[in-house]
Amino acid sequence: MFRRTKMTAAMSQELIDELTDHGRRDLSQLRMDDLESEIYELVDAVTRRAVQGVLEDQRPACDMSHCPQCGRQLEDKPPQEKTLLTQRGEVTWHQPVKRCTACRCDFFPSGASLGD
């Protein structure tokens, strides 16, 4: 719990620095609802980026090397872009894809652990 409190304080200071443009912007003239809106937008952006980072780090590798249907060697394809709708907005991440040119099938790891 202590580590989280310390981390929260550091993150809060970074958010304040971002909102005030490192002290070059005076927030005292903003109405409270405008200030809250700016804070929520910034926190939402940080949250989306954190979720995206976790998804990218946790995405399963497509470690298949041969087609399960015909046994031929699979080729790498460009990753498939996936978009998830979170409580804080859309988050996009990339999923690896393999292709069997003989069967004309694509294979990719199950996204069940990532909320698909």
**pLDDT tens digits for 46-62?**
999 999 888 877 766 66
pLDDT of residue 62: 61
* DSSP-derived 3-state class of residue 37: helix
pLDDT of residue 2: 56
In 10 A of CB 93, how many CB atoms?
21
Q: Model's pTM, two decimal places?
A: 0.63
pLDDT of residue 94: 84
Q: CB burial class (10 A; 0-12, 13-18, 19+) of residue 64?
A: middle
pLDDT of residue 33: 96
Phi, psi for 49 (deg, rounded to 5): -65, -40
pLDDT of residue 32: 95
Terminal alpha carbon distance of the chain: 31
Q: Which residues of the chain have pLDDT under 70?
A: 1-2, 59-62, 109-116
Q: Which is it for the CA torsion 13, 18, 20, 23, positive or negative?
A: positive
pLDDT of residue 59: 65
Distance separating alpha carbons of residues 79 and 61, to the nearest angstrom:
11
